[in-house]
C-alpha cells in the first residue's frame, strides 16, 4: 500500500534534555524519522527543548521549535502549525506522556490531529501496569505475579502475598525511575513511598521476584498489514534484577536453545499484537528460568527506545527510519533494505559477529550515592563493541568504556566476591580478578546467577586470552544484516581478529573510494561532561568533509548517537577510541588527517600519540592545544598579550600546595590537571579546607608528575563564555554568553544567556578583542572557546579551549549557523573570508540555556553542585526578551516559574538593595516572601513583609525542610563565602529534586519576576528557528 | 585438537582445527545463517551429502539433547565453525556438542573464518570440498574431492529413506486422519507436528509405487523433505503423477519440488541455496509475509520457464491435472515457494513450516493441510 496521502504535515515530538534513562538514542531516532518523512514529501514540524541535538537543526524540519515540551506549549504550536498528525514514538517516555496529555485534554481532537505510529489505547495497555498484566494474561502469556498499589497499606498487603525480595515499578515513569528491588522491610517502605510519589498517577506495581532468572529483550517491528519481524535479540549477562540499561548485554542471545528462543519470538509477536502497536517498533523484555524454561513477560515499550538504537547499530537495520515509513502507511515488504538494496525490510537480520554493550556510569561524580545496580536505571551512557566472537567483542567493550581510572579492587577475597555478587559498576572487573585469584567458575555461577557460558568465556579472558598474541590479524568486516548471504553496499565496519587467508591476504571489506579520506573521532560513550553536544559537532564535521568532496570516516563506539548512524558519514567504523584502534583505522584508510577537535576530551587524549605515529592532526596543532592547557605555558602567553588572569600556582604535592595557596590567596579553586567535566575540582576558603581536600583526593598518591592547580576564585564575578572561529589569520566571534548563574558552578551546569544582558558595550568590545587575541596567539584553526570573568569591572581570562565546546550546538541554533561545520571547513583549508559570515547573526532574539541535573537518581549522594560538572543535559528557551526566554528555559528544565505561592530569598550583602526591589515586585504579584534573617531585614526595610526562616546551620525547620515539604515555589539565593556557598548548593539540589526553580543571581531573579508578570497577560509566543533566523537575516 | 583445513574444489582453502571425529570428509559445502538449532540442522536428512558451515560465530552453546534430533542420526558429512563450544553445563544440555560430534564420529573443523568462506560460496556457488588434516597434501585432497559426485543429478533420497514401512500413531486428539508419506528423509518435526494434530502416519520407502500407495486406506499423501537433486528422482515423480487427483497430496521442500515436476515444471540448482531461519515468504493469496526456515539447494521454475515470480498475485495456469497456482514467493530472490492444485486438492511449500530449527510463523500450514483433508476449507 502506498504511503498515506491524506496527511501532509506531521509533528514529531523529541525527548527533551538528556537525562538518565532517556538520552541520545532519541536524537538518532528522531533524526532518522525526519529524514525519511521529508524524503517522502511530508512537511515536518519538530518540537524539542534540547538544542544539543542534530534533529533540531533547522535543515531537518520545515518548522523547528525549541520550546518547552509541555502540553500548553505544544498546544500553542499545534494551533499555529495545524499538523495533520503527530508521531510521538520517537521521543521516549517524554513524548508519549506528552501525547497522552494532549489527547486527554482534548487538544488533539480540537485541532483534528491524528496520532500515528501509536495509538493511545496501545500506549495505555503497555504502560499501565495493571492493564498490561490483564492484556498479557488475555493473550495467554505469563507475567510475574503482581499487585498494584496506590497507598502504603495496599503495598504492604501485596508484600504479604508475594514475599521478599519484591520488585517495585512505578507506572508511567522513565527508566524505572522511582522504583527498585526491596530485599528488606526497610528498603520496601522507602522504595514504595518514593515510587508512589514518582508515578504521575501515583501507582506502583509490585512484582514477585524473578531475580536471578535470565533476562532477554527482543526488538520487534510490525506494519499495518500485521506482518511482524524480530530485528534483534539481546541477552543481559547480568541476570534479572539489574535494569537492562545498566546491564552488560550481548547480541544476539547466546544461551537459549532454538525451541526456547522461538517461544520468546512467538511471545514477542503475541505481545506486540495484544498491546495493539499497529505500526512501528517495540521492545519486549522477558525473564527466563533456565532450569524450568518458564518464561514471563516483564514489560514492553511500545515505541523506539534505547534498546532499539542499540539493536539498530548492532544489526544495521535502521529501526526508526523504518518505523517512520510504517507510520505513514508502508508495509515492511514495500520498504527496501538500505544495506543490500535489493531485499525488503520484511526479514529478520542475522549476525555473523557478536555485539557486547557496556553501560557507562558516573558514580565518581556523586560520592555517597548508592552504586548498587537495581531495577532503577543509573547509567548515563553506553558503549558497544563488535567482534568476531564473544571474547573479542567483550575485550573491545572493556576498552570502549573510557574509564577515567582503573577500578580499585579490594585485597580481601570476601570483599572482592561481594563486588562480584552484588551488581555494581565494577562487577565484571571484579569477576575477572576473582578468576585470576583462583575462585572456581562454578562458584561464580552459583553465587551470581550468570550463565556458565559467559563465566567460562570470561575466565579465558581472565587467564590472558589475547587474540593479537595468537597471530591473528586485524580485519575490517562489514555489518550487512545478512551474514554475507547477499552482497551489501554497506559503509558500516568493525574490526575482528582473524586468521589471514591462505594466500596471506587479509580479508578487509572496508575499501576506499579513490578519494581522500579524513577520519573524525567521536566522543565515546555519553557521560557527564562528554555527551551529545560533541556528537552534534562530529556529525556536522562529517557533513563538512563530505561537502568538500572528501570521504568522511567516522570512528566512534557509542550506539546511541547520530554519529554512529552509517548515513552520517562516507564510512563508519564502530571501534573503541583507543590509540591502537584509531591508528589502525587511520592507517587502513590512509587518511589525509584526523580531526580531534570535536569529540571533547576523548580524541584530545589520543592526539599526541597519533601524531607520533605519523598521522596528521587537522586544524589546531597539538602544540597549541597544549599551550592552552598547560598552565606553565598559558600564563606567560597571557602576560605577553597583556591579559589578566586570576592569580594561580601549581604544585606537585600537598605541602607545596599549601605554600602556594598563600601566594594565590583565598578563596581558591583547586583541581588536578587534564580534567574532564571539572572532576575533582573544589572551591576552598582557607588552609584547613585545602588540606582536607588534598588529603581526600590523595593528592600525594596521585602525584607522580601530575600537577595540582590552584586558581584564585573570583567570588561574585560575572562569568562569560565565548565561542569563536579562527583560520589562523582572522577571527570571527560566533557568540558571547553570559552566565545567569553564580560564578563557581561549572559552565556546563550553568544557565547562560546569549546575547549578554548586562555587560557594557565597552566590556563586550574588550571580550571580543581578547578572544581574538587568544585565538591568533594560540594559532587556532577551527573552534576556540574562552571563559572569562568580569570581576570588579575588570576582565579576567579563566581558560581557553582550542576545540569544540559544549556550547557549540546552543550557539549554532541561536545564530542559525552550523559552527562545527564552519570550523571543519577552516580545518580543511578554507578561510574566514571564504565562509562569508554575517556581522550580527542573532538579530533581536534572546536565547537562554539551562542545565538539567540528575540528582533524583542518586539518593544518598551529597548531590551538590560546584565546580565539578554534574548535569546530564540542557534545554533552551528562545524569545524576544530575556525574562521570557529565561522562563521558557526554566519550564523546559522541569522547573516552571510559579504563578503564586511562597518565594524564598537569601542574598549576599552586596545584593541586598536589589533584593528589596525584587521582593517588592514579587509581593505585588501576590507572592508570600520568606527569607534568611539578614535578607528578611533588608526586605522589611523596604516595607515588604518577609518571614524570617533558619539557614541550614541554624537548625530545623530550615529552608531545605520547607522545600522538601513542598512549601516553597521559587527560590532566589545568591550566596558568597564558604558556608553560604555550601548551603546554596544544598538548597539548589533540594530545589532541583523537587522541580522548583532555583535562581542564583539577582539578574535571574529580576528576570523571573518580569517573566511571571508578562505571563499573566499573554502566553509566550512560540517561535520556530526558521522564522527566527529569517527575521534575524533581515 | 589437531590442525586441518577445509579445501574447496577450486583450490581455495581455509585453515582450522579439527574437532569432532578429527577425521576428514568430502561433500558439497553449503552454509546456513540460522543462529540457533545446530543439532537440528546436522541431524536433518536434507543435509545428506553436504558439509555444513554455520555463519553464527559460536556453535554448541547449549550442548546437545535428545529433543533436538530431527532424525535418528547425524546426516551432514561434516561441520564447519568459527568457534565450536561444548556447552555441556547449560541447564538443558544432556551432553556437550563437541563431545557428541566426536561420539557420533562426525568430522568437524573450527577456527575457520566462516565469513570469508560464505562470501566465496556466495560468489562462486556451492561446490564440492572436504575437511582434511594438515597431514594431507592439497594435491591429494583435491584428488579426493574430484572423486566425489556433484550434487546435480544426485539421488540421495534413497540413502535416507525407510527400508520398510513404519507406522506412527497420533500424539494427540485433533484431526484423526491417516497419511501415507513418501519418505525421502522426513524430519522428525514434520512427523511430530502432524501426529500432534491427531494424524496417523505411514512412512513408506521412497521406492514405493503408485499402485501400492493407491491401495492404502489413507486420507491423503504426504511428500517429504529430503536431500539431493529432484531431477534425479524421476521415478518418484512418476509415482506422484499416479496419485494426483486420487487423494489430496501435501508436501514440503523436496516434496514440493517433486509435485512441481509432476505437473511439468522444471527445477534448477540455486547458486548456493537457501539455508537459514529468516527468509521472508509471501503468501500470494493472502498477502501475508512470513519469516521462514529454509534448507534447499534447488528451486522450481514457473510455468513460463522463469526463475522468478515478479508479480504479487498467484500465478495460475492449466496442467494435465487441472488448475495450478504458484501460491508463495521468496521475497529475497522472487523464487517459487509454493504450489497449489486446487482441482486436485494438492498443496506444497518449499520452506519449512515445521521449523526445527526456526520460526513458527508458518506452522498454521499443518492445520490448513489437515483441515482441507477434512473438507473444511475449499
Positive or negative, the CA dihedral A123, A126, A127, A131 is: positive
- Look at the domain B3-147 and name its fold: Glucose Oxidase; domain 1 (3.50.30)
Residue A497 has pLDDT above 90, yes or no: yes
Residue A702 has pLDDT above 60, yes or no: no
Interface contact B285, partner A, CB < 8 A: no
Give the residue on B whose Cα is nearest the Cα of A335: B331
Half-sphere exposure for B314 (CA within 13 Å, toward CB): 16
The arrangement of strands across the sheet holding A718-727 comes to: A794-801, A781-791, A718-727, A731-739, A752-754, A846-852, A873-879
Chain B CB contacts of A352 below 8 Å: 33, 55-57, 114-115, 118
Give the residue on A whose Cα is nearest the Cα of B332: A343
Active site residue B104: no
Task: Give B177-215 pLDDT, tens digit per residue.
Answer: 999 999 999 999 999 999 999 999 999 999 999 999 999
Task: Give A221-263 pLDDT, tens digit per residue.
Answer: 999 999 999 999 999 999 988 999 999 999 999 999 999 999 9
Give the residue on B whose Cα is nearest the Cα of A388: B57
Chain A CB contacts of B115 below 8 Å: 352, 477, 483-484, 507
Active site residue B352: yes
Of B35, B115, B355, the CB nearest to A484: B115
- Confidence tier at A700 by pLDDT (50, 70, 90): low
Cell of residue B108, nine digits: 568437524
Q: Cβ(B298)–Cβ(B269) under 8 Å?
A: yes
Q: Cβ(B53)–Cβ(B109) under 8 Å?
A: no
Positive or negative, the CA dihedral A110, A116, A120, A123 is: negative
Interface contact B122, partner A, CB < 8 A: yes
Q: Is A2 strand, coil or helix?
A: coil
Structural domain boundaries of chain A? 9-116, 145-208, 214-351, 406-465, 473-614, 647-705, 852-1017
Cell 549522594 belongs to residue? A861
Residue A860 has pLDDT above 70, yes or no: no
- ipTM exceeding cut-off 0.95 for this assembly: yes
Mean pLDDT (whole number) for A34-57: 95
Q: Is A935 strand, coil or helix?
A: helix
- Confidence tier at A699 by pLDDT (50, 70, 90): low
Residue A841 has pLDDT above 50, yes or no: yes
Residue B40 has pLDDT above 60, yes or no: yes
Give DSSP secondary structure letters for B228-292. Answer: S-GGG-HHHHHHHHTTBTTB-EEEETHHHHHHHHHTT--EEEEEEEEEEEEEEEEETTT--EEEE
Residue A98 has pLDDT above 70, yes or no: yes
Give the residues across from B52 on adjacent strands: B30, B79
Cell 581522500 belongs to residue? A516
Mean pLDDT (whole number) for B262-271: 97
Structural domain boundaries of chain B? 3-147, 157-373
Better-predicted residue by pLDDT, A977 or A351: A351
- Look at the domain A647-705 and name its fold: Dna Ligase; domain 1 (3.30.1490)
Task: Give A437-481 pLDDT, tens digit per residue.
Answer: 999 999 999 999 999 999 999 999 999 999 988 889 999 999 999
Helix axes A1002-1017, A912-924, angle to 10 degrees: 10
Residue A676 has pLDDT above 50, yes or no: no
CATH class of A852-1017: alpha beta
Better-predicted residue by pLDDT, A878 or A992: A878
- Look at the domain A9-116 and name its fold: Rossmann fold (3.40.50)
Chain B CB contacts of A482 below 8 Å: 33
Contact between chains at A229 and B291 (C-beta distance less than 8 A): yes
Cell 524570617 belongs to residue? A948
- Confidence tier at A209 by pLDDT (50, 70, 90): confident
Residue A1 has pLDDT above 70, yes or no: no
Instruction: Provide, rounded to the nearest whole percent, the portion of chain A with pLDDT above 70.
Output: 96
Helix axes B188-196, B364-373, angle to 10 degrees: 60
Q: Which of B110, B148, B206, B253 is catalytic?
A: B253
Contact between chains at B57 and A346 (C-beta distance less than 8 A): no
Residue of B35, B83, B335 to mutate, interface with A, max A Cβ within 10 Å: B35
Interface contact B118, partner A, CB < 8 A: yes
Residue among B160, B32, B126 nearest A485 (CA): B32
- Confidence tier at A138 by pLDDT (50, 70, 90): very high
Interface contact B37, partner A, CB < 8 A: yes
Q: How far apart are the first and last CA of chain B?
A: 59
Contact between chains at B91 and A290 (C-beta distance less than 8 A): yes
Distance between CA atoms of residues A853 and A893, nearest Å: 9
If you count them, how many residues does chain B have?
378
Residue among A240, A243, A149, A131 nearest A188 (CA): A149
Cell of residue A933, nine digits: 534573617
Mean pLDDT (whole number) for A297-304: 91
- Look at the domain A145-208 and name its fold: Dna Ligase; domain 1 (3.30.1490)
Chain A CB contacts of B277 below 8 Å: 348
pTM exceeding 0.90: yes
Mean pLDDT (whole number) for A278-282: 94
Q: Which long-range contacts does A883-886 make (Cβ < 8 Å, 24+ apart)?
A: A883/A1007, A883/A1008, A883/A1009, A883/A1010, A883/A1011, A883/A1014, A884/A846, A884/A1011, A884/A1014, A884/A1020, A885/A753, A885/A846, A885/A847, A885/A848, A886/A740, A886/A751, A886/A753, A886/A848, A886/A1004, A886/A1007, A886/A1008, A886/A1011
Task: Give A1013-1023 pLDDT, tens digit per residue.
Answer: 988 888 899 99
Contact between chains at B12 and A502 (C-beta distance less than 8 A): yes
Active site residue B354: yes
Of B56, B87, B355, the CB nearest to A352: B56
Contact between chains at A257 and B113 (C-beta distance less than 8 A): no
Least confident piece of the model among A154-168, A936-950, A992-1006 = A992-1006
Question: Are A9-116 and A473-614 the same fold in CATH?
Answer: yes
Across A88-227, the runs of DSSP E, i.e. the strands, are 114-115, 146-149, 166-170, 180-182, 204-208, 214-222
Distance between CA atoms of residues A810 and A56, nearest Å: 10
Residue A437: CB atoms within 10 Å: 12
Instruction: Provide, rounded to the nearest whole percent, the portion of chain A with pLDDT above 90.
Output: 67
| Torsion, CA A606, CA A609, CA A612, CA A613, rounded to 10 | -90
- Confidence tier at A867 by pLDDT (50, 70, 90): low
- CATH code for the part of the protein at B157-373: 3.40.50.880
Mean pLDDT (whole number) for B274-295: 97
Residue A145 has pLDDT above 90, yes or no: no
Query: φ, ψ for residue B278 (rounded to 5)?
Result: -135, 15
pLDDT given for residue A674 in this prediction: 46
* Strand (E) or helix (H) holding A874: strand A873-879
- Confidence tier at A519 by pLDDT (50, 70, 90): very high
Cell 554512529 belongs to residue? A564
Longest dimension (CA), chain B: 63
Report DSSP state, residue A246.
Answer: G
Contact between chains at A258 and B33 (C-beta distance less than 8 A): no
Least confident piece of the model among A153-157, A687-691, B217-221 = A687-691
Q: How far apart are the first and last CA of chain A?
A: 45
pLDDT given for residue A675 in this prediction: 46
Distance between CA atoms of residues A984 and A992, nearest Å: 12
Chain B CB contacts of A255 below 8 Å: 61-62, 90
Mean pLDDT (whole number) for A615-632: 93
pLDDT given for residue A856 in this prediction: 60
Residue B57 has pLDDT above 70, yes or no: yes
Mean pLDDT (whole number) for A112-130: 87
Of A226, A258, A389, the CB nearest to B58: A389
Chain A CB contacts of B332 below 8 Å: 343, 347, 486
Better-predicted residue by pLDDT, A181 or B41: B41
pLDDT given for residue A894 in this prediction: 87
Q: Cβ(B225)–Cβ(B252) under 8 Å?
A: yes
pLDDT given for residue A746 in this prediction: 74
CATH class of A214-351: alpha beta
pLDDT given for residue A1032 in this prediction: 87
Interface contact B211, partner A, CB < 8 A: no
- Look at the domain A473-614 and name its fold: Rossmann fold (3.40.50)
Residue A636 has pLDDT above 90, yes or no: yes
Distance between CA atoms of residues A824 and A769, nearest Å: 23
Report DSSP state, residue A19.
Answer: B
Amino acid at each position: 500500500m502506498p504511503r498515506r496521502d491524506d496527511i501532509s504535515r506531521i509533528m514529531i515530538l523529541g525527548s527533551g534534555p538528556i537525562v538518565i534513562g532517556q538520552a541520545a538514542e532519541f536524537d538518532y531516532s528522531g533524526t532518522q524519522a525526519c529524514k525519511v518523512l521529508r524524503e517522502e514529501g511530508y512537511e515536518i514540524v519538530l518540537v524539542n527543548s534540547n538544542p544539543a541535538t542534530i534533529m533540531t537543526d533547522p535543515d531537518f524540519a520545515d518548522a523547528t521549535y525549541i520550546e518547552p515540551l509541555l502540553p500548553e506549549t505544544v498546544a500553542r504550536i499545534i494551533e499555529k502549525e495545524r499538523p495533520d498528525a503527530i508521531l510521538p514514538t520517537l521521543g521516549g517516555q517524554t513524548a508519549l506522556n506528552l501525547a497522552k496529555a494532549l489527547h486527554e485534554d482534548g487538544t488533539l481532537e480540537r485541532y483534528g490531529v491524528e496520532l500515528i505510529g501509536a495509538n493511545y489505547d496501545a500506549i495505555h495497555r503497555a504502560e499501565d501496569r495493571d492493564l498490561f498484566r490483564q492484556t498479557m494474561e488475555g493473550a495467554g502469556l505469563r507475567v510475574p505475579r503482581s499487585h498494584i498499589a496506590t497507598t502504603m497499606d495496599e503495598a504492604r498487603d501485596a508484600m504479604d502475598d508475594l514475599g521478599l525480595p519484591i520488585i517495585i515499578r512505578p507506572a508511567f515513569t522513565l527508566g524505572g525511575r522511582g522504583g527498585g528491588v526491596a530485599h528488606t522491610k526497610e528498603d520496601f517502605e522507602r522504595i514504595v513511598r518514593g515510587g508512589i510519589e514518582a508515578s504521575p498517577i501515583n501507582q506502583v506495581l509490585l512484582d514477585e521476584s524473578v531475580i536471578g532468572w535470565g533476562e532477554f529483550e527482543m526488538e520487534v517491528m510490525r506494519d499495518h498489514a500485521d506482518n511482524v519481524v524480530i530485528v534483534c535479540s539481546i541477552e543481559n549477562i547480568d541476570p534479572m534484577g539489574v535494569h537492562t540499561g545498566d546491564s552488560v548485554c550481548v547480541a544476539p542471545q547466546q544461551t537459549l536453545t532454538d525451541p526456547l528462543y522461538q517461544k520468546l519470538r512467538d511471545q514477542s509477536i503475541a505481545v506486540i499484537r495484544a498491546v495493539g502497536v499497529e505500526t512501528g517498533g517495540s521492545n519486549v523484555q522477558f525473564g527466563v528460568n533456565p532450569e524450568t524454561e518458564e518464561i514471563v513477560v516483564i514489560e514492553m515499550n511500545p515505541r523506539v527506545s534505547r534498546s532499539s538504537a542499540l539493536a539498530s547499530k548492532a544489526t544495521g537495520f535502521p529501526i526508526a527510519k523504518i518505523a517512520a515509513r510504517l507510520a505513514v502507511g508502508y508495509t515492511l515488504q514495500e520498504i527496501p533494505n538500505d544495506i543490500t538494496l535489493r531485499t525488503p525490510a520484511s526479514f529478520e537480520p542475522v549476525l555473523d559477529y557478536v555485539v557486547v554493550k557496556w553501560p557507562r556510569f558516573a558514580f565518581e561524580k556523586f560520592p555517597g550515592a548508592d552504586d548498587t545496580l537495581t531495577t532503577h536505571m543509573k547509567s548515563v551512557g553506553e558503549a558497544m563493541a563488535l567482534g568476531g566472537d564473544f571474547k573479542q567483542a567483550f575485550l573491545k567493550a572493556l576498552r570502549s568504556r573510557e574509564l577515567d581510572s582503573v577500578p580499585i579492587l579490594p585485597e580481601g577475597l570476601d570483599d572482592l566476591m561481594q563486588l562480584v555478587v552484588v551488581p555494581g559498576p565494577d562487577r565484571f572487573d571484579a569477576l575477572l580478578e576473582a578468576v585470576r585469584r583462583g575462585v572456581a567458575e562454578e562458584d561464580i555461577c552459583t553465587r551470581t546467577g550468570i550463565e556458565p557460558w559467559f563465566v567460562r568465556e570470561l575466565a579465558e579472558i581472565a587467564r590472558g586470552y589475547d587474540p593479537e598474541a595468537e597471530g591473528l590479524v586485524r580485519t575490517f568486516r562489514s555489518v550487512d544484516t545478512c551474514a554475507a548471504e547477499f552482497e551489501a553496499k554497506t559503509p558500516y565496519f568493525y574490526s575482528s581478529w582473524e586468521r589471514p587467508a591462505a594466500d596471506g591476504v587479509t580479508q578487509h571489506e572496508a575499501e576506499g573510494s579513490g578519494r581522500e579520506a579524513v577520519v573524525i573521532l567521536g566522543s565515546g560513550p555519553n557521560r557527564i561532561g562528554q555527551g551529545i553536544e560533541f556528537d552534534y559537532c562530529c556529525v556536522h564535521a562529517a557533513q563538512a568533509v563530505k561537502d568538500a568532496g572528501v570521504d568522511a570516516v567516522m570512528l566512534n563506539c557509542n550506539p546511541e548517537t547520530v554519529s554512529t548512524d552509517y548515513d552520517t558519514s562516507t564510512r563508519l567504523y564502530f571501534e573503541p577510541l583507543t590509540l591502537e584502534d584509531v591508528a589502525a583505522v587511520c592507517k587502513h584508510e590512509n587518511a589525509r588527517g584526523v580531526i580531534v577537535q570535536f569529540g571533547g576530551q576523548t580524541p584530545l587524549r589520543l592526539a599526541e600519540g597519533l601524531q607520533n605515529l605519523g598521522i596528521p592532526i587537522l586544524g589546531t596543532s597539538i602544540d597549541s592545544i597544549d599551550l592552552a592547557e598547560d598552565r606553565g605555558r598559558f600564563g606567560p602567553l597571557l602576560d605577553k598579550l597583556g591579559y589578566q588572569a586570576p592569580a594561580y600556582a601549581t604544585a606537585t604535592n600537598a605541602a607545596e600546595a599549601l605554600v602556594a595557596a598563600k601566594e594565590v590567596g583565598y578563596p581558591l579553586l583547586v583541581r588536578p590537571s587534564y580534567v574532564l567535566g571539572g572532576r575533582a575540582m573544589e572551591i576552598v576558603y582557607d588552609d584547613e579546607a585545602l588540606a582536607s581536600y588534598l588529603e581526600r583526593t590523595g593528592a600525594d598518591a596521585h602525584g607522580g608528575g601530575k600537577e595540582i592547580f590552584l586558581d584564585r576564585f573570583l567570588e561574585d564575578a560575572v562569568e562569560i563564555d565565548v565561542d569563536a572561529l579562527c583560520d589562523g589569520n582572522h577571527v570571527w566571534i560566533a557568540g558571547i554568553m553570559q552566565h545567569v548563574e553564580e560564578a563557581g558552578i561549572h559552565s556546563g551546569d550553568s544557565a547562560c544567556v546569549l546575547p549578554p544582558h548586562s555587560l557594557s558595550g565597552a566590556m563586550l568590545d574588550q571580550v571580543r578583542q581578547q578572544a581574538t587575541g587568544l585565538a591568533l596567539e594560540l594559532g587556532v584553526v577551527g573552534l576556540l572557546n574562552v571563559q572569562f570573568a568580569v570581576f570588579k569591572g575588570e576582565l579576567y581570562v579563566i581558560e581557553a579551549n582550542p576545540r569544540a565546546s559544549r556550547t557549540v550546538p546552543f550557539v549554532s541554533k541561536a545564530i542559525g549557523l552550523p559552527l562545527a561545520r564552519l570550523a571543519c571547513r577552516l580545518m580543511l583549508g578554507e578561510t574566514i573570508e571564504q565562509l562569508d559570515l554575517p556581522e550580527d547573526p542573532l538579530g533581536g532574539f534572546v536565547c537562554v540555556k539551562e542545565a538539567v541535573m540528575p540528582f533524583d537518581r542518586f539518593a544518598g549522594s551529597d548531590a551538590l553542585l560546584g565546580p565539578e560538572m554534574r548535569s546530564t543535559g540542557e534545554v533552551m528557551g528562545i524569545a524576544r526578551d530575556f525574562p521570557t526566554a529565561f522562563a521558557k528555559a526554566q519550564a523546559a528544565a522541569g522547573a516552571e516559574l510559579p504563578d503564586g505561592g511562597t518565594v524564598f530569598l537569601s542574598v549576599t550583602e552586596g545584593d541586598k538593595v536589589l533584593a528589596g526591589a525584587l521582593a517588592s515586585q514579587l509581593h505585588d504579584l501576590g507572592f508570600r516572601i520568606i527569607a534568611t534573617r539578614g535578607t528578611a531585614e533588608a526586605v522589611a526595610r523596604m516595607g515588604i513583609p518577609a518571614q524570617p526562616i533558619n539557614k541550614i546551620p541554624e537548625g530545623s525547620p530550615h529552608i531545605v525542610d520547607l522545600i522538601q515539604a513542598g512549601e516553597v515555589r521559587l527560590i532566589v539565593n545568591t550566596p558568597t563565602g564558604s558556608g553560604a556557598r555550601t548551603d546554596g548548593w544544598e538548597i539548589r539540589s533540594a530545589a532541583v529534586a523537587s522541580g522548583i526553580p532555583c535562581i542564583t543571581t539577582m539578574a535571574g531573579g529580576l528576570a523571573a519576576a518580569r517573566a511571571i508578570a508578562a505571563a499573566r497577560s499573554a502566553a509566550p509566543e512560540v517561535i520556530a528557528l526558521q522564522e527566527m533566523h529569517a527575521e534575524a537575516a533581515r | 585438537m589437531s590442525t586441518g583445513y577445509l579445501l574447496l574444489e577450486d583450490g581455495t582453502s581455509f585453515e582450522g582445527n579439527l574437532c569432532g571425529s578429527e577425521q576428514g570428509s568430502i561433500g558439497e559445502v553449503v552454509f546456513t545463517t540460522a543462529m540457533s538449532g545446530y543439532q537440528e540442522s546436522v541431524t536433518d536428512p536434507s543435509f545428506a551429502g553436504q558439509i555444513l558451515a554455520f555463519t553464527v560465530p559460536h556453535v554448541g552453546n547449549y550442548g546437545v539433547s535428545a529433543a533436538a534430533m530431527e532424525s535418528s542420526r547425524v546426516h551432514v558429512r561434516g561441520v564447519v565453525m568459527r568457534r565450536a563450544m561444548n556447552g555441556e553445563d547449560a541447564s538443558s544440555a544432556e551432553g556437550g556438542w563437541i563431545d557428541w560430534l566426536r561420539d557420533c564420529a562426525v568430522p568437524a573443523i573450527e577456527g575457520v573464518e566462516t565469513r570469508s568462506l560464505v562470501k566465496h560460496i556466495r560468489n562462486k556457488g556451492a561446490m564440492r570440498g572436504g575437511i582434511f588434516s594438515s597431514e594431507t597434501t592439497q594435491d591429494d585432497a583435491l584428488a579426493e574431492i574430484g572423486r566425489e559426485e556433484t550434487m546435480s543429478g544426485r539421488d540421495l533420497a534413497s540413502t535416507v529413506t525407510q527400508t520398510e514401512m513404519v507406522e506412527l500413531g497420533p500424539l494427540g486428539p485433533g484431526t484423526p486422519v491417516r497419511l501415507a508419506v513418501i519418505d525421502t528423509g522426513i524430519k522428525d518435526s514434520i512427523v511430530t507436528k502432524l501426529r500432534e494434530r491427531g494424524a496417523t502416519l505411514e512412512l513408506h520407502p521412497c521406492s514405493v509405487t503408485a499402485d501400492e500407495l493407491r491401495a492404502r486406506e489413507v486420507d491423503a499423501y504426504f511428500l517429504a523433505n529430503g536431500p539431493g537433486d529432484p531431477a534425479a528422482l524421476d521415478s518418484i515423480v512418476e509415482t506422484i503423477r499416479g496419485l494426483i487427483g486420487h487423494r489430496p497430496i501435501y508436501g514440503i521442500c523436496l516434496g514440493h519440488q517433486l509435485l512441481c515436476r509432476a505437473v511439468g515444471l522444471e527445477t534448477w540448482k540455486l547458486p548456493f541455496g537457501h539455508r537459514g531461519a529468516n527468509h521472508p515468504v509471501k503468501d500470494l493469496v493472502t498477502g501475508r509475509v512470513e519469516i521462514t526456515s529454509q534448507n534447499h539447494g534447488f528451486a522450481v521454475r514457473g510455468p513460463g520457464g522463469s526463475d522468478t515470480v515478479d508479480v504479487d498475485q498467484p500465478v495460475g495456469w492449466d496442467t494435465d491435472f487441472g488448475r495450478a497456482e504458484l501460491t508463495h514467493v521468496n521475497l529475497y530472490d522472487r523464487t517459487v515457494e509454493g504450489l497449489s492444485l486446487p482441482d486436485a486438492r494438492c498443496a506444497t511449500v518449499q520452506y519449512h513450516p515445521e521449523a526445527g530449527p526456526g520460526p513458527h510463523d508458518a506452522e498454521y500450514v499443518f492445520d490448513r493441510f489437515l483441515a482441507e483433508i477434512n473438507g473444511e476449507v475449499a
